[in-house]
Amino acid sequence: MSSPLFDVWEAASASPYQPTVGKNSQFLIGSVLLFAAFILAGVFGLNRSFVNLSLLGVPASLAFGFGAVYMICAVGVYV
């Protein structure tokens, strides 16, 4: 079989897709990030100020965003 797309497939044989975080470490990464988000949110809850909103809220949101994606993948819903 020879078609242009098959040639593309053959040409890319050296670069199989590898995800940034492998399947085995998704749960660990996800839980660490979610735990970090939980702690940061807790500290923010104790002292709510505009400075803390950017100092704690932004990293907490980022940790929650990525942590949630990895945790959902780890439990089998591959988003």
Partner 1 sequence: MRSITLVASCLAALSSFVTAELNLSQPLRSKQVLSSAFKPPQVFKNANLVRTTNLDKAFPRETINVVIENIDTKPQSEYYLPFETSLISKVGGLEASDKKNPNLGAFKVEVVGFEEASSTEFYLIHLPKPLAPKEQQTLSITYSILSTLSPVPATIAQSEKQYVQYTFSAYTPSAYTTDKQKTKVKFPNGDIPDYTTLPADVNAENKADPQKQGSTFTYGPYEKIPAGAEQEVSVRYEFTKPLTHASLLERDIEVSHWGGNLAVEERYWLQNLGAKLKNHFSRVEWQKSSYMSPPTSALKALNLPLNPGALNPYFTDDIGNVSTSRFRPGKREALLELKPRYPVFGGWKYSFRVGWDANLSSYLRKVAGGDSYVLKVPFLEGPRQPEGIEYARVNLRVILPEGATNVKYSTVVPVIDSDTTLHRTFMDTIGRTTLSLTAINIVDDFRDRDLIVTYDYPWTAGFRKPVVITLGMFAIFATVWVVGSLDTSIGKKKTA
Residues that bind partner 1 (CB under 8 A): 1-6, 8-9, 11-19, 21-23, 26, 37, 41, 44-45, 48-50, 53, 57-58, 60-62, 64-66, 68-70, 72-73, 76-79
Alpha carbons 48 and 79: distance in angstroms, whole number: 33
Q: To the nearest whole angstrom, how small is the minimum distance from the Cβ of residue 31 to partner 1?
A: 16
Eight-state DSSP code of residue 12: T
Q: To the nearest whole angstrom, how small is the minimum distance from the Cβ of residue 68 to partner 1?
A: 5
Contacts of 74 (CB under 8 A, 6+ apart): 26, 27, 30
Q: To the nearest whole angstrom, how small is the minimum distance from the Cβ of residue 16 to partner 1?
A: 4
